[in-house]
Structure 1
Amino acid sequence: MTTYLRLLPEQLPEIAEWIANLNKQNTHHIGFCGTDASALLNDFQEDFIQDELTTLVGQFEQDQLVGLIGFDCDDETAEVWGPFHLNHSVSDSVALWQFARNEFSELQTFLFFLHAENTAQQQVMSEIHADFRGKHLYYVRPRDGFDSSRDSLTYVFQDADQEALLKMHSTEFPDTYYDTQTLINRSTSPDHLLLMAKLDGASVGYAYVEKAPDEHSAHLEYLAIAPAFRGQGLGYRWLSAVLAEVFTDERVQHVTLTVSTDNEAANPLYEKVGFQKENELWFYKLGQ
């Protein structure tokens, strides 16, 4: 007998172990979920608890967990953790998705990041009519060997920078998950960094980073140089300056980022600064 249940907070330690083990396999891997059970548990406790339940839904066969999907919600948008399914069953994953979507009818937009070898869930994306938005490389830059000398180019976002930030962000990332105001709002968290670059009085770039201290990591969400200042060697300097700022936090042992495989200009820059390719993720979007 198949049942679908919203999971309880007290089930999260067991669920974290279940996903950590499954996500180590490329054919099951969902991007950004990680493979460390303790880090997963921390993420669940911070972002997946809603009142007395969680935003995780499990599929059970004879009381045995065989499938799972979760929503990391931000207003009406959710990054989807899953669907995970032990048996690679496309039909079962679609049924799980449909149940979970009905449970969270307030959500309108869904973001999926699947490993390139996770072909079963790629078929699920086709079945639910999610749009394929591109292939992304997942990079990791360890702290080891990085020169953390700080650069005068860098400073923390101030209210006076709002117009410059809006112009750069809307130009460089016109169809993205965080708009300018969301970046500003999220940057009030002590573990989120919104950094600006200024040269000779002009705003030349910005970067937004979210740290996950319990995972000893930080994720570089956005980084850009204004078009008028490209071709001057600022890209390498700016990326190095951002990393130096992030690594001032001793809790951070590595920085991650994702970038389109088609970004021929940026990818060599990331590798020059010491980022290493770890996974290829396929990005799908459903909704507005």
Structure 2
Amino acid sequence: MTTNKQLAQFLALLNNEPAHHIGYCGENVEEIEQALREDFTEDAFVIAYANEHITAAIGLDIDGTSAEVWGPFMQQAEQAPLLITMWQQLLEKQPSITKFQFFINEQNKLAIEFAEAIDAKQTGQHAVLLWQQQEQQAETSFNFYEPQFYEAFAAIHNAAFPNTYYNAETIIKRLSNENELLLLVNEEGQLQGYAYIEVDALYKNAAIEYIAIAPAFWRQGLGTKLLMMVLAHIGRVHQISEVRLTVDRANEAALRLYKAAGFTVKHELISYYLIK
């Protein structure tokens, strides 16, 4: 029986190569092993072997009737026909899952061909950006989330990110010491913008999952101000020097903003969606 450690080692080995990279999976063995232990059921993966070594794997990170697809991961491209069989086995093990999301590196030709072979539909192209700690003196004078801001926050979030993976209600439910909703509020008490961040204190990394400015306050430099404040907060409060975010590659204004703040492109990914 494959242990989480063995599977994590296999996934990390491949996921550190652009030609095998899947956006949902991490790149650190210990971090992947923790995710497998805490977020996956025992029957969430189908694994192929040769001479007792893992040669291919595909799994589902399940949330209700939806799942993010971890994979497919395969060392030898000539074994690609096996992936369809593995996928069918996975569907048989998880009959209640009806919606599947894929996040595939554009250099991962095998996974792209697999997604298209099972009739998954492309939904977008994205860039994963990486920022590493720099000397900066940005202020961090923002508000933490309070219930009186919910309606204003939800309005900004729904307008900026319609049909996204976390709606406003889900974000509020996820708030914790490491998942923070930071609000930019003016002197009149108006919510000008927000950023939702998730911090992994154990592995010393953080992600800006969402950041947006209310339309009424566009073109006032507040996007840059909020972004720099958030980065300063992550560095000073959480003592984390590496921050990631994902942005639609068609959003040229956002890309310019993030690159000006010191972000660099780490991965370019394609998203797919499949309804069974």
TM band (smaller chain): over 0.9
Partner of 2:228: 240
Task: Please give the alpha-carbon distance, in whole angstroms, between the structure 2 residues aligned to 1:23 and 1:247.
Answer: 27
Aligned with residue 120 of structure 2, among 123, 126, 130: 130
Structure-2 change in CA distance of 1:251 and 1:91 (3 Å): farther
Kindly report the root-mean-square deviation, in angstroms, between the aligned alpha carbons of the 2 structures.
1.8
Structure-2 change in CA distance of 1:19 and 1:148 (3 Å): farther
Partner of 2:11: 19
Task: Please give the alpha-carbon distance, in whole angstroms, between the structure 2 residues aligned to 1:148 and 1:221.
Answer: 23
Count, aligned residues: 274
Matched, 1:65 2:54: yes
Task: Please list, as runs of the form range in 1=range in 2, the aligned pairs for 1:130-149 lying within 5 A after superposition.
Answer: 130-143=120-133, 145-147=134-136, 149=138
1:62 deviates by: 5.2
Partner of 1:196: 183
Task: Please give the alpha-carbon distance, in whole angstroms, between the structure 1 residues aligned to 2:256 and 2:63.
Answer: 32
1:173 deviates by: 0.8
Task: Please list, as runs of the form range in 1=range in 2, the aligned pairs for 1:69-80 lying within 5 A after superposition.
Answer: 69-80=58-69
Matched, 1:55 2:44: yes
Q: Deviations over 1:87-112 (max 9, x none)?
A: 22432122212211221222222221
Does structure 1 retain, via aligned residues, the 8 Å contact 2:101–2:273?
yes
Question: Per the alignment, in what secondary structure is the counterpart of residue 46 of structure 1?
Answer: helix
Task: Please give the alpha-carbon distance, in whole angstroms, between the structure 2 residues aligned to 1:217 and 1:148.
Answer: 20
Question: Per the alignment, in what secondary structure is the counterpart of residue 48 of structure 2?
Answer: strand
Task: Please give the alpha-carbon distance, in whole angstroms, between the structure 2 residues aligned to 1:258 and 1:74.
Answer: 21
Q: Deviations over 1:182-233 (max 9, x none)?
A: 111011x321111211113211111111112232111111110011110011
1:54 deviates by: 5.2
Does structure 1 retain, via aligned residues, the 8 Å contact 2:201–2:238?
no
Moved over 3 A (4+): 61-64
Unaligned runs of 5+ in 1: 1-6
Amino acid of the residue matched to residue 177 of structure 1?
Y
Structure-2 change in CA distance of 1:162 and 1:103 (3 Å): same
Partner of 2:95: 105
Q: Deviations over 1:143-187 (max 9, x none)?
A: 2x14254332x2111111110111111111111111111111011
Partner of 1:281: 269
1:239 deviates by: 0.7
Partner of 1:215: 203
Question: Per the alignment, in what secondary structure is the counterpart of residue 248 of structure 1?
Answer: helix
Task: Please give the alpha-carbon distance, in whole angstroms, between the structure 2 residues aligned to 1:75 and 1:211.
Answer: 24
Amino acid of the residue matched to residue 121 of structure 1?
A
Matched, 1:115 2:102: no
Partner of 1:81: 70
Task: Please give the alpha-carbon distance, in whole angstroms, between the structure 2 residues aligned to 1:79 and 1:248.
Answer: 32
Does structure 2 retain, via aligned residues, the 8 Å contact 1:84–1:93?
no
Partner of 1:43: 35
Does structure 2 retain, via aligned residues, the 8 Å contact 1:16–1:37?
yes
1:120 deviates by: 1.0
Does structure 1 retain, via aligned residues, the 8 Å contact 2:138–2:228?
no
With normalisation by structure 1, the TM-score equals: 0.89
Amino acid of the residue matched to residue 157 of structure 2?
H
Does structure 2 retain, via aligned residues, the 8 Å contact 1:148–1:245?
no
Question: Per the alignment, in what secondary structure is the counterpart of residue 220 of structure 2?
Answer: coil
1:59 deviates by: 2.0
Unaligned runs of 5+ in 2: none
